[in-house]
A and B are shown apart, each in its own frame.
Chain A
Amino acid sequence: MSEAMLQVENLHLWRGERHVLRGVGFSVNSGECLQLSGPNGAGKTSLLRTVCGLSYPEGGQIRWRGEDVHRDLPGFHSQMAYLGHEPPLKMELTGRENLHYWVGVRRRFARSELERALERVGGQRWSDRPVRTLSAGQKRRVALAGLLLMAVPLWLLDEPTTNLDVEGQQLVGTLIDEHLAAGGLAMAAVHHPLAVSERGLRRLELGGG
């Protein structure tokens, strides 16, 4: 059996005196979504931040396509997208400007691609307004459009459905489903189960402590 696209082995992470991740291991393959759940403080965000290379684990290994990610972080980063708790947007810029500068440093994209991504999240109408004037859910939708525009195989999402209405939560599920169908993979920390079809869904429960 060949190795999975994303393979995490025996991960240990300390935060000061706290042993946050104790030997966490899993693998995610193309077409699969790993749903991380667990109580507050279980280390869901820490795990995501460690996988994307922001935090350095005290022990264990993270391999992407069979290679330790810390050996080529820029190469790994160019194939993944991380969305944290808060949408990473500048309040003074409009939605379109935000996407232009945020995703623009990663890849060139055509105007039509930007419009298609905005249309997909239902944001074409209000994306010329400064982000400051948008609702929390609308900001989240702009961030989702950015995720689509990045066109990367690996998605790391921290609470992707926060602040979204019922239809928006459904949208997140659909977007992940489409991403998986196109051969992508995803990891999402959630409190409420994702609206993702069962086929590609895998679950990991992190314990408290």
Chain B
Amino acid sequence: MQAALPSVQLGRGSAPSAWGVARLMLERDLRLAFRKASQLVQPLAFFAMVTTLFPLAITPELSRLRHIASGVLWAAALLASLLALEFLFRDDAQDGTLEQYALSGRALTGLLSAKTAAHWLLTGLPLALMAPIAGVALGVPGRALPGILASVTLGTVTLSLLGAIGAALTLGVRRAGALLSLLTLPLAIPVLIFGAHATQLAIRGEPYGAPLTLLAALAVFGMTLAPLAAAAAVRINLE
């Protein structure tokens, strides 16, 4: 009987491309997420609850709600995405799969980028799609909805990336939730400021291009540097 013979001269040629690896990682995380959907629903439910509680607690008057809508939407989105961060690398670290990826000979930065992308697709994007709906409930006029969608989309990208650094740094900590929030929240403040500002301008019907561009710049900045920082933090925590 022939086993899968270990070829001692393992050719680099048989290795999948960097894109192939990223796709595999993305596919794996999406599949895993749908097998335990409760983790997926939790931040979204939180977002929906917070945004519906405000009209009940303050006033059902749409003209007044409209003034606070940008703040409500953004504070809720920020907290909801923090809620989801804890799960980003934790499961993989606990069952030893993260260690295997660190030892795979593939760039950890690429693997973590793919994981962060999956995380954004599962939490950031649904939040961005929900934000305009919540906006309508808060009396936001229809013309402002594209602005809300765009700003929350860009903002959650940066939040996921910042969160990746925080989650990687707190891997070794039991009950990391509080520490993770403490680490990530101050860094997330610029996103909150520019995001809420863009939304505010959109609601008033003024051009919101400037804060949106800044949000995009933050996202690009995060994309280039956050995976490097996260990979370094993961390596320290695996030691």
Number of interface residues of A (CB under 8 A): 48
Number of interface residues of B (CB under 8 A): 39
Among residues of B, the one whose C-beta sits closest to the C-beta of A49 is B239
Judged by a CB distance under 8 angstroms, whether A184 is at the interface is: yes
Q: Are A84 and B3 in contact (CB under 8 A)?
A: no
Q: Are B10 and A153 in contact (CB under 8 A)?
A: yes
Of the 9-residue stretches B20-28, B145-153, B209-217, which lies at the interface with chain A? Answer: B20-28
| Central interface residue in B8, B27, B36, by most chain A CB within 10 Å | B8
List the A side residues contacting B25 at CB < 8 Å.
101, 105
Q: Are B24 and A55 in contact (CB under 8 A)?
A: no
Can you spell out 12 A-B residue pairs with CB atoms less than 8 angstroms apart? A74-B105, A75-B105, A76-B105, A78-B10, A86-B95, A89-B95, A91-B95, A93-B31, A93-B35, A97-B31, A117-B3, A151-B10
Q: Which residues of A are in contact with B by a Cβ distance under 8 Å?
A: 30, 52-56, 74-82, 84, 86-93, 97, 100-102, 104-108, 113, 116-117, 120, 148-149, 151-153, 175, 178-179, 182-184
Give bound CA distance, A56 to B238, whole Å.
Answer: 11
Among residues of A, the one whose C-beta sits closest to the C-beta of B2 is A116
Give bound CA distance, A88 to B97, whole Å.
Answer: 5
Q: Are A54 and B238 in contact (CB under 8 A)?
A: yes
Q: Are B103 and A53 in contact (CB under 8 A)?
A: yes
* A13 vs chain B, min Cβ distance (A): 11
Q: Are B16 and A84 in contact (CB under 8 A)?
A: no
* B111 vs chain A, min Cβ distance (A): 7
Partner of B6, one of A76, A86, A87, A153: A153
* A114 vs chain B, min Cβ distance (A): 9
Q: Are B106 and A106 in contact (CB under 8 A)?
A: yes
The 5 closest A-B pairs by CB, nearest first: A78-B105, A77-B105, A88-B96, A92-B35, A101-B28
* B102 vs chain A, min Cβ distance (A): 7
Q: Are A105 and B7 in contact (CB under 8 A)?
A: no
Q: Are B95 and A88 in contact (CB under 8 A)?
A: yes
List the B side residues contacting A55 at CB < 8 Å.
239
List the B side residues contacting A53 at CB < 8 Å.
103
Q: Please provide the chain B residues from 7 to 39 with a CB less than 8 Å away from any CB of chain A in the complex.
A: 7-8, 10, 12, 14-16, 20-21, 24-25, 27-28, 31-32, 35-36
Give bound CA distance, A113 to B14, whole Å.
Answer: 13
List the B side residues contacting A108 at CB < 8 Å.
14-16, 20
Give bound CA distance, A92 to B87, whole Å.
Answer: 15
